[in-house]
Amino acid sequence: MGIAQTIGQRIRNYRLQNKLSQEELAERAGCHHTYIGQIERGEKNASIESIDKIASALGISLSKLFEFLGSETPKEDDYAYQAYELIIASKSFKGRSSSSTIVVGKHSSAQTILR
Residue 2 has what pLDDT?
84
Could you tell me which residue, 102 or 51, shows the higher pLDDT? 51
Please give the share of the chain, as a percent, with pLDDT higher than 90: 50
Is pTM, for the whole model, over 0.85?
A: no
Compute the distance between CA of residue 108 and CA of residue 93 in angstroms, rounded to an integer: 22
Residue 71 has what pLDDT?
53
Q: Would you say residue 97 has pLDDT above 70? A: no
Compute the distance between CA of residue 44 and CA of residue 33 in angstroms, rounded to an integer: 13
3-state SS of the chain: helix, strand, coil percent to 5?
Answer: 55, 5, 35
User: What phi and psi values does residue 67 have, to the nearest 5 degrees?
Assistant: -55, 135
Q: Which helix (H) or strand (E) holds 6?
A: helix 3-17
